[in-house]
Amino acid sequence: MGSVIVSLDAELAWGFHHYSEPPTRTLRHARGVWRRLCQVFDSYEIPATWAITGHLMLDACEEFHSGHPAGERCCEAATDDISAERLWFGNGLVDAVASADVDHEIASHGFTHVHFEHERADRAFVADELAAAVEAATARGFDQSSFVFPVNRVGYRDLLADHGFDCYRGVAPARADRGPIRRRAAKLASGVVGRPVPPVVTPQVDEYGLVNVPASLYLFDFQGLARSILGRVTTDPVVRRAVAGIDAAARTEGVFHVWLHPHDVRGPRDFARLDAVLSHVATRRRSHGLRVETMADAADRVRAER
Protein backbone atom coordinates (compact mmCIF):
# COMPACT_ATOMS: atom_id res chain seq x y z
CA MET A 1 0.00 0.00 0.00
CA GLY A 2 1.49 3.28 -1.15
CA SER A 3 0.44 6.88 -0.77
CA VAL A 4 -0.51 10.01 -2.66
CA ILE A 5 0.70 13.53 -1.88
CA VAL A 6 -0.76 16.71 -3.36
CA SER A 7 1.35 19.85 -3.00
CA LEU A 8 0.50 23.38 -4.11
CA ASP A 9 2.89 26.24 -4.89
CA ALA A 10 0.87 29.15 -3.52
CA GLU A 11 2.48 32.44 -4.46
CA LEU A 12 0.02 34.92 -6.05
CA ALA A 13 1.95 37.74 -7.76
CA TRP A 14 5.27 36.63 -6.25
CA GLY A 15 5.34 33.87 -8.85
CA PHE A 16 5.49 36.58 -11.53
CA HIS A 17 7.80 39.12 -9.88
CA HIS A 18 10.12 38.83 -12.91
CA TYR A 19 7.38 40.23 -15.18
CA SER A 20 7.33 43.96 -15.93
CA GLU A 21 3.72 43.89 -14.67
CA PRO A 22 1.84 41.04 -12.95
CA PRO A 23 -0.43 39.16 -15.42
CA THR A 24 -3.88 40.53 -14.66
CA ARG A 25 -5.77 37.78 -16.49
CA THR A 26 -4.07 35.07 -14.44
CA LEU A 27 -4.28 36.80 -11.07
CA ARG A 28 -7.69 38.49 -11.24
CA HIS A 29 -9.50 35.43 -9.87
CA ALA A 30 -6.58 33.79 -8.07
CA ARG A 31 -7.77 34.66 -4.57
CA GLY A 32 -11.20 33.17 -5.18
CA VAL A 33 -9.56 30.04 -6.57
CA TRP A 34 -7.62 29.54 -3.30
CA ARG A 35 -10.87 29.48 -1.34
CA ARG A 36 -12.64 27.22 -3.82
CA LEU A 37 -9.71 24.79 -3.76
CA CYS A 38 -10.10 24.54 -0.01
CA GLN A 39 -13.72 23.54 -0.57
CA VAL A 40 -12.73 20.92 -3.15
CA PHE A 41 -10.17 19.31 -0.85
CA ASP A 42 -12.69 19.36 1.99
CA SER A 43 -15.28 17.62 -0.17
CA TYR A 44 -12.91 14.66 -0.72
CA GLU A 45 -11.41 14.83 2.78
CA ILE A 46 -7.95 15.08 1.21
CA PRO A 47 -5.29 17.14 3.01
CA ALA A 48 -2.63 18.81 0.90
CA THR A 49 0.72 20.48 1.43
CA TRP A 50 0.26 24.19 0.76
CA ALA A 51 3.71 25.66 0.17
CA ILE A 52 3.04 29.36 0.70
CA THR A 53 5.36 32.24 -0.12
CA GLY A 54 6.25 33.83 3.21
CA HIS A 55 5.44 37.42 2.24
CA LEU A 56 1.79 36.40 1.82
CA MET A 57 1.66 35.84 5.58
CA LEU A 58 2.28 39.54 6.23
CA ASP A 59 -0.47 42.08 6.76
CA ALA A 60 1.85 44.94 5.81
CA CYS A 61 5.47 45.38 4.79
CA GLU A 62 7.89 48.16 5.64
CA GLU A 63 10.95 46.43 4.24
CA PHE A 64 12.75 47.75 1.18
CA HIS A 65 13.61 44.25 -0.15
CA SER A 66 17.16 45.38 -0.77
CA GLY A 67 18.72 43.62 -3.76
CA HIS A 68 15.46 42.02 -4.86
CA PRO A 69 15.29 41.40 -8.64
CA ALA A 70 11.85 43.07 -8.81
CA GLY A 71 13.01 46.26 -7.08
CA GLU A 72 13.19 47.53 -3.54
CA ARG A 73 9.47 48.32 -3.13
CA CYS A 74 8.07 45.67 -5.44
CA CYS A 75 5.23 44.87 -3.03
CA GLU A 76 3.70 48.30 -3.67
CA ALA A 77 3.12 47.61 -7.37
CA ALA A 78 -0.50 47.36 -8.52
CA THR A 79 -2.38 46.90 -11.79
CA ASP A 80 -5.30 48.91 -13.13
CA ASP A 81 -7.84 46.65 -11.43
CA ILE A 82 -5.89 44.72 -8.74
CA SER A 83 -4.52 46.47 -5.68
CA ALA A 84 -1.07 45.80 -4.26
CA GLU A 85 -2.67 44.28 -1.15
CA ARG A 86 -4.44 41.66 -3.26
CA LEU A 87 -1.30 40.82 -5.23
CA TRP A 88 1.46 40.65 -2.64
CA PHE A 89 -0.31 39.92 0.68
CA GLY A 90 -2.44 37.00 1.80
CA ASN A 91 -5.21 38.99 3.53
CA GLY A 92 -7.15 36.01 4.86
CA LEU A 93 -6.08 33.38 2.33
CA VAL A 94 -3.58 31.71 4.62
CA ASP A 95 -6.19 31.58 7.38
CA ALA A 96 -8.64 29.96 4.94
CA VAL A 97 -6.17 27.14 4.33
CA ALA A 98 -5.27 26.75 8.00
CA SER A 99 -8.92 26.67 9.12
CA ALA A 100 -10.17 24.21 6.48
CA ASP A 101 -11.99 21.10 7.62
CA VAL A 102 -9.10 18.86 6.53
CA ASP A 103 -5.72 19.23 8.19
CA HIS A 104 -3.61 20.83 5.47
CA GLU A 105 0.12 21.27 5.95
CA ILE A 106 1.36 24.87 5.75
CA ALA A 107 4.81 24.57 4.17
CA SER A 108 7.28 27.18 2.93
CA HIS A 109 7.80 28.39 -0.63
CA GLY A 110 10.51 30.87 0.21
CA PHE A 111 9.82 34.46 1.18
CA THR A 112 9.54 36.31 -2.14
CA HIS A 113 9.87 33.45 -4.67
CA VAL A 114 13.36 34.25 -5.89
CA HIS A 115 14.69 30.93 -7.14
CA PHE A 116 17.97 29.70 -5.72
CA GLU A 117 19.83 29.71 -9.04
CA HIS A 118 19.06 33.36 -9.75
CA GLU A 119 22.09 35.54 -10.41
CA ARG A 120 21.31 37.56 -7.27
CA ALA A 121 20.62 34.55 -5.08
CA ASP A 122 24.01 34.15 -3.47
CA ARG A 123 24.39 32.37 -0.16
CA ALA A 124 23.71 35.48 1.93
CA PHE A 125 20.58 36.36 -0.07
CA VAL A 126 19.19 32.82 0.28
CA ALA A 127 19.90 32.80 4.00
CA ASP A 128 18.02 36.10 4.39
CA GLU A 129 15.07 34.77 2.36
CA LEU A 130 14.85 31.64 4.48
CA ALA A 131 15.15 33.59 7.73
CA ALA A 132 12.39 36.00 6.64
CA ALA A 133 10.14 33.11 5.59
CA VAL A 134 10.60 31.37 8.94
CA GLU A 135 9.98 34.61 10.85
CA ALA A 136 6.76 35.35 8.94
CA ALA A 137 5.44 31.83 9.49
CA THR A 138 6.39 31.75 13.16
CA ALA A 139 4.61 35.06 13.74
CA ARG A 140 1.44 33.41 12.40
CA GLY A 141 1.90 30.36 14.62
CA PHE A 142 3.11 27.96 11.92
CA ASP A 143 5.99 25.61 12.67
CA GLN A 144 6.99 24.68 9.14
CA SER A 145 8.97 21.55 8.35
CA SER A 146 8.56 21.20 4.56
CA PHE A 147 10.01 23.38 1.81
CA VAL A 148 9.18 23.70 -1.88
CA PHE A 149 11.88 25.42 -3.90
CA PRO A 150 10.74 28.37 -6.04
CA VAL A 151 10.66 27.32 -9.70
CA ASN A 152 11.80 23.86 -8.53
CA ARG A 153 15.45 24.98 -8.54
CA VAL A 154 16.91 22.83 -5.77
CA GLY A 155 19.88 24.37 -3.99
CA TYR A 156 21.44 25.46 -0.70
CA ARG A 157 19.97 22.42 1.02
CA ASP A 158 22.39 22.84 3.90
CA LEU A 159 20.77 26.21 4.62
CA LEU A 160 17.36 24.54 4.71
CA ALA A 161 18.62 22.28 7.48
CA ASP A 162 20.18 25.25 9.28
CA HIS A 163 16.80 27.03 9.30
CA GLY A 164 14.91 24.10 10.79
CA PHE A 165 13.35 22.43 7.73
CA ASP A 166 13.07 18.63 7.63
CA CYS A 167 12.12 17.87 4.03
CA TYR A 168 11.72 19.31 0.56
CA ARG A 169 10.08 18.49 -2.76
CA GLY A 170 12.72 17.17 -5.10
CA VAL A 171 12.67 17.21 -8.88
CA ALA A 172 10.71 14.46 -10.63
CA PRO A 173 13.09 11.64 -11.64
CA ALA A 174 12.07 11.82 -15.31
CA ARG A 175 12.81 15.55 -15.50
CA ALA A 176 16.09 15.20 -13.66
CA ASP A 177 17.36 12.59 -16.12
CA ARG A 178 16.31 14.26 -19.38
CA GLY A 179 17.49 17.27 -21.31
CA PRO A 180 15.05 19.95 -22.53
CA ILE A 181 14.51 18.36 -25.98
CA ARG A 182 13.73 14.93 -24.53
CA ARG A 183 11.40 16.51 -21.93
CA ARG A 184 9.41 18.28 -24.67
CA ALA A 185 9.18 15.07 -26.70
CA ALA A 186 8.04 13.12 -23.65
CA LYS A 187 5.39 15.75 -22.88
CA LEU A 188 3.98 15.52 -26.42
CA ALA A 189 3.97 11.72 -26.29
CA SER A 190 2.20 11.75 -22.94
CA GLY A 191 -0.45 14.05 -24.34
CA VAL A 192 -1.13 11.81 -27.32
CA VAL A 193 -1.09 8.39 -25.68
CA GLY A 194 -1.18 9.14 -21.95
CA ARG A 195 2.22 7.53 -21.39
CA PRO A 196 4.66 6.93 -19.88
CA VAL A 197 3.19 6.31 -16.46
CA PRO A 198 4.57 9.04 -14.18
CA PRO A 199 7.01 7.76 -11.58
CA VAL A 200 6.03 6.42 -8.20
CA VAL A 201 8.84 7.79 -6.02
CA THR A 202 10.63 6.74 -2.87
CA PRO A 203 11.41 9.56 -0.41
CA GLN A 204 14.95 9.33 0.93
CA VAL A 205 17.12 11.08 3.48
CA ASP A 206 19.87 13.15 1.84
CA GLU A 207 23.36 14.00 3.05
CA TYR A 208 22.05 16.96 5.08
CA GLY A 209 19.54 14.88 7.00
CA LEU A 210 16.62 16.24 4.96
CA VAL A 211 13.99 13.97 3.44
CA ASN A 212 13.72 14.42 -0.31
CA VAL A 213 10.10 13.85 -1.37
CA PRO A 214 10.37 13.99 -5.18
CA ALA A 215 7.56 15.14 -7.42
CA SER A 216 5.86 12.68 -9.75
CA LEU A 217 3.58 14.78 -11.95
CA TYR A 218 2.77 18.46 -12.53
CA LEU A 219 -0.97 18.53 -13.13
CA PHE A 220 -0.87 21.50 -15.52
CA ASP A 221 2.19 20.71 -17.61
CA PHE A 222 0.06 19.97 -20.68
CA GLN A 223 -1.69 23.22 -21.60
CA GLY A 224 -2.37 25.60 -24.45
CA LEU A 225 -3.35 24.76 -28.01
CA ALA A 226 -2.26 21.11 -27.79
CA ARG A 227 -4.60 20.54 -24.86
CA SER A 228 -7.50 22.18 -26.69
CA ILE A 229 -6.97 20.09 -29.82
CA LEU A 230 -6.59 16.77 -28.01
CA GLY A 231 -9.51 17.60 -25.75
CA ARG A 232 -11.82 17.36 -28.73
CA VAL A 233 -10.86 13.81 -29.61
CA THR A 234 -9.75 12.12 -26.38
CA THR A 235 -10.06 12.23 -22.63
CA ASP A 236 -7.76 14.51 -20.67
CA PRO A 237 -4.26 12.98 -21.07
CA VAL A 238 -3.09 14.39 -17.73
CA VAL A 239 -5.99 12.72 -15.94
CA ARG A 240 -5.12 9.42 -17.65
CA ARG A 241 -1.51 9.70 -16.50
CA ALA A 242 -2.55 10.71 -12.98
CA VAL A 243 -4.96 7.78 -12.73
CA ALA A 244 -2.19 5.42 -13.84
CA GLY A 245 0.16 6.85 -11.21
CA ILE A 246 -2.46 6.62 -8.47
CA ASP A 247 -3.16 2.99 -9.39
CA ALA A 248 0.57 2.22 -9.37
CA ALA A 249 0.91 3.72 -5.88
CA ALA A 250 -2.07 1.68 -4.67
CA ARG A 251 -0.30 -1.50 -5.77
CA THR A 252 3.13 -0.67 -4.33
CA GLU A 253 4.83 0.93 -1.34
CA GLY A 254 5.81 4.07 -3.22
CA VAL A 255 4.56 7.65 -3.28
CA PHE A 256 2.71 9.35 -6.11
CA HIS A 257 3.31 13.08 -5.64
CA VAL A 258 1.32 15.50 -7.78
CA TRP A 259 1.60 19.28 -7.64
CA LEU A 260 0.07 22.44 -9.06
CA HIS A 261 -0.25 26.18 -8.57
CA PRO A 262 -3.60 27.60 -7.44
CA HIS A 263 -3.40 30.07 -10.34
CA ASP A 264 -3.25 27.11 -12.77
CA VAL A 265 -6.92 26.50 -12.06
CA ARG A 266 -8.73 29.16 -14.07
CA GLY A 267 -11.94 27.65 -15.39
CA PRO A 268 -14.37 24.72 -15.40
CA ARG A 269 -12.15 22.28 -17.30
CA ASP A 270 -9.27 22.94 -14.88
CA PHE A 271 -11.48 22.21 -11.89
CA ALA A 272 -12.78 19.15 -13.76
CA ARG A 273 -9.19 17.89 -14.14
CA LEU A 274 -8.47 18.32 -10.43
CA ASP A 275 -11.83 16.84 -9.47
CA ALA A 276 -11.18 13.74 -11.58
CA VAL A 277 -7.78 13.21 -9.97
CA LEU A 278 -8.98 13.70 -6.39
CA SER A 279 -12.02 11.52 -7.03
CA HIS A 280 -9.77 8.66 -8.13
CA VAL A 281 -7.57 9.13 -5.07
CA ALA A 282 -10.67 8.84 -2.87
CA THR A 283 -11.79 5.74 -4.78
CA ARG A 284 -8.46 3.96 -4.32
CA ARG A 285 -8.36 5.00 -0.68
CA ARG A 286 -11.62 3.10 -0.17
CA SER A 287 -10.85 0.12 -2.40
CA HIS A 288 -7.13 -0.41 -1.72
CA GLY A 289 -6.38 1.43 1.51
CA LEU A 290 -4.26 4.00 -0.37
CA ARG A 291 -2.78 6.52 2.07
CA VAL A 292 -3.17 10.26 1.60
CA GLU A 293 -0.21 12.07 3.11
CA THR A 294 1.30 15.51 3.32
CA MET A 295 5.01 15.99 2.68
CA ALA A 296 5.59 16.20 6.45
CA ASP A 297 3.68 12.94 6.97
CA ALA A 298 5.85 11.18 4.42
CA ALA A 299 9.05 12.58 5.95
CA ASP A 300 8.00 11.46 9.43
CA ARG A 301 7.19 7.99 8.13
CA VAL A 302 10.54 7.68 6.35
CA ARG A 303 12.42 8.67 9.49
CA ALA A 304 10.38 6.24 11.61
CA GLU A 305 11.01 3.39 9.17
CA ARG A 306 14.75 4.01 9.35
Minimum mean pLDDT range among 7-21, 132-146, 171-185, 204-218: 171-185
Residue 215 covered by a domain: yes
Whether residue 143 contacts residue 87, with contact meaning beta carbons closer than 8 Å, is answered with no
Per-residue confidence (pLDDT) for residue 191, from 0 to 100: 47
The yes-or-no verdict on residue 233 having pLDDT over 90 is no
The yes-or-no verdict on residue 181 having pLDDT over 90 is no
Residue 306 covered by a domain: no
- For residue 287, the domain's CATH number is 3.20.20.370
**What DSSP assignment string belongs to 189-208?**
HHHHH--SPPPPB--EE-TT
Amino acid at 24: T
Q: Looking at residues 9-17, what average pLDDT do you find? A: 97
Q: Which of 256, 257, 255, 276 is nearest to 265 (CA)?
A: 276
Contacts of 200 (CB under 8 A, 6+ apart): 2, 216, 245, 248, 249, 252, 254, 255, 256
The range of the structural domain enclosing residue 159 comes to 3-301
Minimum mean pLDDT range among 15-24, 46-55, 90-99: 15-24
Read off the pLDDT band of 235 (50, 70, 90): confident
The yes-or-no verdict on residue 192 having pLDDT over 80 is no
Residue 91 covered by a domain: yes
d(CA 299, CA 306): 11
Per-residue confidence (pLDDT) for residue 227, from 0 to 100: 46
d(CA 143, CA 141): 7
Q: What is the pLDDT of residues 48-96, one digit of tens each?
A: 999 999 999 999 998 889 889 999 999 999 998 999 999 999 989 999 9
Give how many domains the chain has, as a whole number. Answer: 1
Q: What is the pLDDT of residues 107-162, one digit of tens each?
A: 999 999 999 999 999 999 999 999 999 999 999 999 999 999 999 999 999 999 99
The yes-or-no verdict on residue 272 having pLDDT over 90 is yes
